[in-house]
């Protein structure tokens, strides 16, 4: 069995944002040489997500608005976690949007549905953060 490990680094200039990382994951898959297997992609930080959805800007605005209704950033004082930090909302948003995705590898390709794309979701940016890609298979 082959294994391949790759880290992607991010430093978003804004507190929140979504980045399409599908092509980065495809590059890692090509480098792995795996034809049949599984690809795990996970955020290594507790205020960031990896998720799969549509690459459509209106939907991304809808995610932002929906997450702000569920866990508004401000006022910071509404959260018990805030004090030394101001990122309680980011922890909550990350939990809803998920830590990781697992994608099947078939014929050397990511076996995604027609409208599926892989995204990094940042909820407490302006700092360096990592995503882990782990590929296993034959
Ligand atoms: Zn925190």
CA 138 to chain CA centroid, nearest Å: 25
35 and 110 Cβ atoms separated by less than 8 Å: no
Residues 92-101: b if buried by 16+ CB within 10 A, e if exposed: bbbeebebeb
Ligand 1 centroid to residue 125 C-alpha, Å: 12
Residue 127: which pLDDT band, with cuts at 50, 70 and 90?
very high
SS3 74: coil
Ligand 1 centroid to residue 81 C-alpha, Å: 7
How many Å apart are CA 24 and CA 27, to the nearest integer? Answer: 5
pLDDT at residue 73, as a whole number = 98
pLDDT at residue 131, as a whole number = 98
pLDDT at residue 57, as a whole number = 97
Report the predicted TM-score, pTM, of the whole model to 2 decimal places.
0.97
Return the CA Rg of the chain.
16
Which residues are CB-contacts of 97 (< 8 A; sequence separation ≥ 6)?
49, 51, 63, 67, 121, 123
pLDDT one-digit tens code per residue, 45-89: 999 999 999 999 999 999 999 999 999 999 999 999 999 999 999
Residue 104: which pLDDT band, with cuts at 50, 70 and 90?
very high
The number of beta carbons lying within 10 Å of the beta carbon of residue 46 is: 14
Ligand 1 centroid to residue 71 C-alpha, Å: 14
pLDDT at residue 96, as a whole number = 98
The structural domains of the chain, ordered by start, are 2-137 (2.60.120.460)
The number of beta carbons lying within 10 Å of the beta carbon of residue 88 is: 19
Ligand 1 centroid to residue 18 C-alpha, Å: 20
pLDDT one-digit tens code per residue, 10-47: 999 999 999 999 999 999 999 999 999 999 999 999 99
Residue 132: which pLDDT band, with cuts at 50, 70 and 90?
very high
């Amino acid at each position: 069995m082959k294994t391949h490990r790759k880290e992607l680094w991010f430093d978003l200039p804004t507190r929140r944002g979504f980045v399409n990382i599908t092509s980065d994951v495809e590059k890692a898959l090509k480098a792995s040489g795996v034809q049949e297997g599984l690809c795990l992609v996970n955020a290594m930080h507790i205020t960031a997500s990896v998720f799969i959805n549509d690459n459509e800007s209106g939907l991304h605005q809808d995610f932002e608005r929906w997450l702000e209704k569920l866990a508004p950033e401000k006022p910071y004082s509404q959260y018990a976690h805030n004090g030394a930090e101001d990122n309680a909302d980011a922890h909550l948003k990350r939990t809803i949007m998920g830590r990781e995705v697992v994608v099947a590898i078939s014929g050397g390709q990511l076996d995604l549905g027609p409208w599926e794309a892989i995204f990094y979701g940042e909820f407490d940016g302006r700092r360096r953060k990592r995503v882990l890609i782990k590929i296993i298979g034959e």
